[in-house]
Amino acid sequence: MLSTVLILACVVAPALSNDFLSGFTHEAIADPTHGRVNYVDQATALAQNLTYASGDTLILRADHTTVLSASGAGRNSVRLQSNKVYSNHVTVWNIRHMPQGCGTWPAVWEVGQDWPNQGEIDILEGVNDHGPDQATLHTNSGCTVGGTRTMTGTSTGDNCDVNATGNSGCGVTSTDASSYGPAFNAAGGGFYAMERSNSGVKVWLWLRNSGSIPNDVLNGGTSVDTDKWGTPLADFPSASCDMASHFGPHNIIINLTFCGDWAGAVFANDGCPGDCTTYVDENPSAFINAYFDVAWLKVYQ
């Protein structure tokens, strides 16, 4: 059983805005995934209502009003990184809505400063409204996750080494179409949780309407017992991947980019119209629903 060490957002309005925004930094950086995005700093995000809090609601979104110049910067959006780092821990995200729309590439993930040597854990990720969710590990060489795995998802590969897999790592896709995008939002969202321990990494998802959400997850308890959470969506055991040597201290990241290495590469295959960059530039109203609505995030250690 793990106890809460940090509540980054909660149902009390002052704690929502103060704790989350003071616990994270808006990274106004060039997108490492080469997206058609302009990540803005916190002052800009607040001024443009790309980041705002009200009651038990934290909104993180992209600009949805500006037609972009092809020769100018990408669409304004946000990338938040936690100020603190975590090794073995559990995170629980209470998310009502995730970004949707052609060209979108939202993600909730964790990563070490020395990538890929300190590893990366992708909890929630997908592109172009094309579900389901994919949870993925990215590491340096010597980390595989074969053998006995108890999970509801489907493995996309056992080798987590980014250099051996063209940066795809070792992923697990959900078998539930409602785990991502418009279907997730239509269900009222849900709870994503991740446990990192010496035994490996596990990721769970409970849709809000599932009726099977553990009480400690549903109520955002002061402690959690992952042994009682049932079969995870994704199981990455440590039998052939030593956690200590492949995963270092991680920052928590939530971001929304557009096009880039993944969403742009499969834009047409996902049924989206024309060219991804042109679509993002010329159709701001297509991104009215490109936002995260987070009720709270809790981290247990």
Active-site residue set: 120, 125
Q: Please report, for residues 60, 109, 236, 277, the alpha-carbon distance to residue 129 in angstroms, rounded to integers and kept in the order given.
A: 18, 18, 25, 16
CA-nearest of 224, 242, 29, 34 to 137 is: 242
DSSP reduced 3-state for 78:
coil
CB atoms near residue 95 (< 10 Å): 23
Contacts of 176 (CB under 8 A, 6+ apart): 132, 152, 205, 207
Instruction: Identify the burial level of 255 via C-beta atoms within 10 angstroms of its C-beta, where 0-12 means exposed, 13-18 middle and 19 or more buried.
Output: buried
Q: DSSP letter at 260?
A: I
Helix locations, 147-190, DSSP H? 181-186
Q: Are 61 and 258 in contact (CB under 8 A)?
A: no
Contacts of 278 (CB under 8 A, 6+ apart): 70
Instruction: Identify the burial level of 72 via C-beta atoms within 10 angstroms of its C-beta, where 0-12 means exposed, 13-18 middle and 19 or more buried.
Output: exposed
Q: Which two tokens stand for residue 284?
A: 């701001």
Bridge partners (DSSP) of residue 59 are: 52, 293
Distance (Å, whole) CA 206 – CA 209: 8
